[in-house]
Amino acid sequence: MAVELDMKETREKGIGKRILASVIFIPCLIIIARRGGFYYLALIDIMILIGLWEFYRMMEAKGLRPYKTIGILSGLALSWYVFFQQGIYANFFLSVIFLGVMALELVRREKGLAVYHISVTIFGVFYVAWLGSHLVLLRELPHLKGLDYSIGFSFVLVVFVLTWCYDTGAYMVGTLIGRHKILPSVSPAKSWEGVCGGIMFSIAGIMLTRYWLAQYLTILQAVGLAVIASIVGQLGDFVESMIKRDVRIKNSSDAIPGHGGVLDRFDSLLFTSPLIYYFFKYFILE
């Protein structure tokens, strides 16, 4: 009985911290995303900076030695590159990073595990910085399409609403009635009931956003995007859980009270932001 009470108290404290963190962050996100430009870029850079630091810290816990400084600086530089170039010739920039890391490994004093050190450094740049930079590309998409810059705020809002409504719905429904597990070997707490609840929350969130800001979406497009983004976002959550399970840690860090680290909070967003960016770029704004 005492154990159950302790677990309940811990869960309630965790929920309280989640709510407090959300109350602080969400208004800041709305204000900064509406303004866009360098302010929004700086916000995403903070996410990339902390996310890469968490990722390389996890790799070190695995016994590997990634090029942390080079990886973090490359990730930040990548976000600035896509900000000014709208992603054009990003493959050239990524190639330079890849070749540079391999060249550095040649002159490393401690030999051994070269493939692993190179791989995890580049993986971090792709996983955190490249996927995360799609949040910048999404906000700057109006420039690429010759549209009013202010509409980019609604693009950003769509990706955050879809992702976080799903996360909230999946967490609440899964906690209350979750019984049938999806992938217990990777994430024991995730259930099919939670997935259904998350999709319902995601649909409700995108319909409200459509009514408020995103009238360019048809009802069918909004619902379809909600369902696909929910599935892709859940895959992102599973991938980060798989990485944490591999390195045997619970949270990527304690950067966000009640949520864990930046990767714990933005893992789904890293997967949904490219999806929504390319959806808008090739299907909505064509």
Whether the CB-CB separation of 233 and 275 falls below 8 Å is answered with: no
What does the pLDDT read at residue 73? 95
DSSP state of 149: G
pTM for the model: 0.89
Sequence ranges of the domains in the chain: 2-284
pLDDT tens series, the chain, 286 aa: 443 434 444 455 555 656 666 677 788 889 999 999 999 999 999 999 999 999 999 999 888 999 999 999 999 999 999 998 876 777 888 888 899 999 988 888 777 788 999 999 999 999 999 999 999 999 999 998 889 999 999 999 999 999 999 999 998 899 899 888 999 888 888 999 999 999 999 999 999 999 999 999 999 999 999 999 999 999 999 999 999 999 888 887 776 665 678 898 889 999 999 999 999 999 988 7
- In angstroms, the CA 135 to CA 88 distance is 15
- In angstroms, the CA 169 to CA 186 distance is 20
What does the pLDDT read at residue 1? 47
- In angstroms, the CA 47 to CA 272 distance is 15
In this structure, the chain runs to a length of 286
What does the pLDDT read at residue 3? 37
SS3 125: helix
Query: Computed over its alpha carbons, how large is the radius of gyration of the chain?
Result: 20
What does the pLDDT read at residue 78? 93
What does the pLDDT read at residue 256? 66
**HSE value, Cβ hemisphere, 13 Å, CA-based, for 272:** 29
Beta bridge partners of 260: 256
What does the pLDDT read at residue 8? 46
> CA-CA distances (angstroms) from residue 207 to 73, 159, 162?
39, 13, 10
- In angstroms, the CA 119 to CA 212 distance is 44
Name the residue among 168, 123, 193, 161 with its Cα closest to residue 269.
Answer: 161
Whether the CB-CB separation of 42 and 286 falls below 8 Å is answered with: no
What does the pLDDT read at residue 254? 72
